[in-house]
Structures are given as C-alpha cells and as structure tokens.
Amino acid sequence: MSAKRIVPSVLAVALCGGVVAFILAGNAPRRPLTGPAAHPWASWPVGTWAEMSVVVAGRSWTERWEVVAVDEAGVRLRVTEAGRKPDEQVIATAPEAYVDEGVEALTLAGRTFTCRRQSLGGSRRWLCGELPAWPVREENEEGKTELVRIGEAAGGRSCMVFETRFADGGRATRWKSLEVPGQVVREVRTADIGEARVEVAAYGRP
C-alpha cells in the first residue's frame, strides 16, 4: 500500500464509505453493523463495480472497486488503479452488540426526530425509525458525525448529507444514497494536507 492509498476504515464499512483510499481511510468514525448500513456492499451481487474519481491535494486519479466475493467472512472488494497492481480489501460482517440506552429527541437538519440512543464501549449512536438506513448521529473518540441535510442532490441522486468533525480538527462531508454501491455518492474531506474529494463517476452490476 503506497502513501497515496491507505487501507480505508470507512470504505471498509461503507464504500467510498469508505471510499477510496485516502478519504475514507484514516480516522472516520466507524459505521454500525446493523440494518442497510451494516454492509453497503453486501447487498450488491458479486461483479458489482463502482468507478471512483479521486482528487487529493491537487492530484487526481480514478479507482475501480468491484465485489469479488460475499460470504461468512465478509465482503471482498478488489481495488484497481491504472498502472498499479490490484489490491483487495475484506470488510468483516460480524454484528456489533450495542446496548440500548433509551429514547432521546434530536433536532437535526431542521427536523426533530425521536431516536433510540445506543452505546458500545466508547461509541454512541442514535437511530431513528423515520430514517432507518443510517444513524442520524454517531460519536466516539475519533469524532462526531451527524445528519445535516436531507434530500440534497449529488451525482443525480437525492441524498442524505452527513458531516463529521474529527478530534484532530479535520472535517468530512458525505452525500449518501442507498441507490449506489457502497452508499456514498460523494465525500469531501479537509485535513492538514488540504482537501480530498471522492465521487462515484459510474457503476454497474452483472
């Protein structure tokens, strides 16, 4: 793995969502493994692919992510970049045992939601029955992610937009949709090296 591509923790949990190397790599708060958000790639058949346009600190390239296996071990993705040897990532699929802490009202994206607050170690998340795909808020030692906008267009899709503020001062914004492999249509992250951007340029399935 070169300096340009870092094993993505988010991608590992939510495509590009983990997306492409750099952006989802690093310390993005991890995604809970329950419901549709559990495995953004697991719901897509083997052979499904997404081509990602990546821009990091002024450099740009394209990566192709393809589902090559889905089994009890998890989801195996092959990452291909022109001129480089293909790399494979395995996303484990074991569920996480969060503890329910009760009901809490949250006002996010201009709306008030009734949520179930849950915890696991030093992590907490808030789940809303009205928006079942993803937690509307997540917190852990690495940062805080919450829903900021609903129904915003990106890549020809109506998306839910989440913003992460990292403990190290970085920020990331993700436009998410269940209609694309990996569920992340676009991600923009700012850090000390500058801005990094990943966006789904094309995708397909067998």
**Complete domains list, the chain, with CATH:** 15-204 (2.50.20)
What's the chain's average pLDDT? 79
Whether pTM > 0.75 for this model: the answer is: yes
Band of the pLDDT at 19, cuts 50, 70, 90? very low
Of 85 and 137, which is predicted with more confidence?
A: 137
- Res 175: pLDDT: 96
Question: Over the stretch 123-144, which tens digit does the pLDDT of each residue have?
Answer: 999 999 888 778 999 999 999 9
Could you report how far apart the first and last alpha carbons of the chain are, in Å? 29
Q: Express the helix, strand and coil content of the chain in percent, nearest 5 each.
A: 5, 55, 40
Contacts of 18 (CB under 8 A, 6+ apart): 8, 9, 10, 11, 12, 24, 25, 28, 182, 184
- Res 25: pLDDT: 35
- The token duo for 67 is 């589902």
The answer, yes or no, to whether residue 50 has pLDDT greater than 90, is: yes
The answer, yes or no, to whether residue 2 has pLDDT greater than 70, is: no
